[in-house]
């Protein structure tokens, strides 16, 4: 694939940095969590924690899930198995340093010997960071960046209640720096949970807009990891499978939230995409989405959905062979179609899916005055860490953002 470069680091330094980063990622052993899949597996995971010898667990979640009663059966399963459980439900979307530090205090007060994250990406990310801070006796600020978790965290377990982030299998957690108004990553293989339960029974009540947005998060992980220069045969196979599953099931999940089989398929698609991007990385849609989330608290899946079609328009020709592979996988093109035509067919089908599930094409919160800053930060993030098919210049990134203006 052509890689058109416009990096502030300069072509030589930029390529050298990415080569070093790729070699480092490829050399790191990424463990695969034990996965339990199917209705009832969340309670099964809770019982298994007792078998693994845990006696004091901090369950990290958000107040909404706790109030809806989704957490209580898991608390009861833990306690019935002889595990003392404390619930920390102070996690909000885009968790902050203060929220992580409050969770660390709760874990220490409970003398927790394991952490269980229950919820969407925010509670699971918070659980990872709380476990890492306790294990390393440090503030979360000390962990921001790549490979800074020096000591083992408390054992981490995960129960996703949305099908989107893939955080239950990734080496990444994101924390919001409120002073800088920026989302900052903590990347380390020690953050990968030891076990996760993909229990679609916990997702049956998810509203259609949340289902749509989180499903687009999973799809963005799948597509951007497929186009990444770090992708290999294994990650591409996972990316293609996840893409196929999202196109086959997301519309149905939005139309009928009680369809357990479809919910389970989406949960698995999210996990497969998580496996793919934790090795292969992501791209410009994520770089833009991170800033939209930090500035406006735009849900991450929605922010990805807004950016992805325009990012694919920009890199269509450079990424045509990979996009054509995805188009064939979802039935939008045939194997003999010209790659450029097949790539366009995939982008067209993506936009049709987004319309069908009711996602907006613009962001009401976005302000023209913020666009230069968003573009600058997105370019710095993507061109510093993501091996995308084609690199943007500032005017090109700003033009994409202007298409999102309401």
Tokens of 134: 């306790």
| Among candidate residues 295, 200, 218, 311, the one with its CA nearest the CA of residue 256 | 200
What is d(CA 214, CA 274) in angstroms, rounded to the nearest whole number?
A: 13
Percentage of the chain surpassing pLDDT 90? 87
Q: Average the pLDDT over 8-16 and give the result.
A: 57
What are the domain boundaries of the chain?
11-27+205-402, 34-203
pLDDT for 357 equals 98
Q: Average the pLDDT over 279-295 and give the result.
A: 95
Is the predicted pLDDT of residue 16 greater than 80, yes or no? Answer: no
Confidence of residue 23 (pLDDT cuts 50, 70, 90): low
11-27+205-402 CATH fold: Dehydroquinate synthase-like, alpha domain (1.20.1090)
Confidence of residue 1 (pLDDT cuts 50, 70, 90): very low
What is d(CA 214, CA 216) in angstroms, rounded to the nearest whole number?
A: 5
Is the predicted pLDDT of residue 2 greater than 80, yes or no? Answer: no
pLDDT for 11 equals 52
Q: What's the predicted TM-score (pTM) here? A: 0.92
pLDDT for 156 equals 98
What is d(CA 227, CA 122) in angstroms, rounded to the nearest whole number?
A: 26
Q: Average the pLDDT over 321-349 and give the result.
A: 98
The answer to whether 153 and 131 are in contact (CB under 8 A) is: yes
What is d(CA 297, CA 264) in angstroms, rounded to the nearest whole number?
A: 28
What is d(CA 240, CA 219) in angstroms, rounded to the nearest whole number?
A: 10
Q: Which residues pair with 86 in a beta bridge?
A: 58
Average pLDDT taken over every residue of the chain: 93
Q: Hey, do 11-27+205-402 and 34-203 end up sharing a CATH topology, with the first three levels equal?
A: no
Is the predicted pLDDT of residue 6 greater than 60, yes or no? Answer: no
Alpha helix segments (H runs only) across 52-186: 63-67, 72-80, 97-110, 121-136
Is the predicted pLDDT of residue 207 greater than 50, yes or no? Answer: yes
The 10s digit of each residue's pLDDT in 232-252 is 999 999 999 999 999 999 999
| Among candidate residues 297, 204, 329, 304, the one with its CA nearest the CA of residue 256 | 204
Burial 297-319 (b: 16+ CB within 10 A, else e): ebbbbbbbbbbbbbbbebbbbbb
pLDDT for 360 equals 97
34-203 CATH fold: Rossmann fold (3.40.50)
Confidence of residue 146 (pLDDT cuts 50, 70, 90): confident
Is the predicted pLDDT of residue 258 greater than 80, yes or no? Answer: yes
Q: Average the pLDDT over 316-332 and give the result.
A: 98
What is d(CA 39, CA 385) in angstroms, rounded to the nearest whole number?
A: 38
The answer to whether 85 and 107 are in contact (CB under 8 A) is: no
Q: Average the pLDDT over 92-110 and give the result.
A: 96
Tokens of 358: 């009711």
Long-range contacts of 347-350 (CB under 8 A, 24+ apart): 347/309, 347/312, 347/313, 347/316, 347/323, 349/247, 350/219, 350/308, 350/309, 350/312
pLDDT for 5 equals 41
What is d(CA 398, CA 177) in angstroms, rounded to the nearest whole number?
A: 24
Tell me the Ramachandran region of residue 185: left when phi exceeds 0, alpha when psi lies from -120 to 50, beta otherwise. Answer: beta
């Amino acid at each position: 694939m052509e890689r058109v470069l416009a990096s502030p680091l300069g072509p030589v330094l930029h390529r050298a940095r990415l080569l070093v980063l790729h070699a480092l990622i490829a050399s790191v052993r990424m463990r695969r969590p034990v996965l339990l899949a199917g209705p009832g597996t969340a309670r099964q995971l809770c019982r298994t924690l007792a078998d693994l010898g845990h006696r004091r667990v901090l369950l990290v979640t958000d107040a909404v899930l706790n109030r809806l009663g989704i957490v209580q059966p898991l608390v009861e399963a833990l306690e019935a198995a002889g595990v003392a459980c404390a619930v920390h439900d102070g996690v909000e979307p885009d968790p902050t340093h203060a929220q992580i530090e409050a969770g660390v205090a709760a874990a220490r007060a409970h003398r927790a010997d394991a952490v269980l994250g229950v919820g969407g990406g925010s509670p699971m990310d918070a659980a990872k960071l709380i476990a890492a801070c306790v294990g390393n006796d440090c503030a979360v600020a000390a962990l921001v960046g790549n490979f800074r978790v020096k000591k083992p965290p408390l054992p981490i377990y995960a129960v996703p209640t949305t099908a989107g982030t893939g955080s239950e299998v990734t080496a990444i957690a994101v924390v919001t720096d409120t002073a800088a108004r920026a989302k900052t990553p903590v990347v380390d293989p020690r953050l990968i949970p030891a076990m996760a339960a993909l229990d679609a029974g916990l997702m049956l009540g998810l509203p259609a807009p949340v289902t749509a947005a989180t499903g687009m998060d999973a799809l963005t992980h799948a597509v951007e990891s497929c186009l990444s220069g770090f992708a290999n045969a294994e990650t591409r196979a996972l990316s293609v499978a996840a893409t196929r599953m999202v196109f086959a099931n997301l519309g149905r999940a939005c139309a009928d939230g009680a369809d357990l089989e479809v919910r389970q398929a989406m949960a698995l698609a999210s996990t497969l995409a998580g496996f793919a991007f934790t090795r292969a990385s992501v791209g410009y849609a994520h770089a833009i989405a991170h800033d939209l989330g930090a500035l406006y608290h735009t849900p991450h899946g929605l922010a990805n959905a807004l950016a992805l079609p325009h990012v694919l328009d920009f890199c269509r020709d450079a990424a045509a062979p990979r996009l054509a592979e995805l188009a064939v996988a979802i039935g939008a093109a045939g194997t003999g179609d010209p790659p450029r035509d097949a790539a366009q067919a995939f982008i067209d089908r993506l936009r049709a899916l987004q319309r069908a599930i009711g996602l907006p094409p613009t962001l009401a919160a976005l302000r023209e005055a913020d666009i230069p800053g968003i573009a600058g930060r997105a370019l710095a993030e993507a061109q510093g860490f993501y091996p995308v098919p084609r690199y943007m210049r500032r005017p090109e990134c700003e033009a994409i953002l202007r298409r999102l203006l309401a």
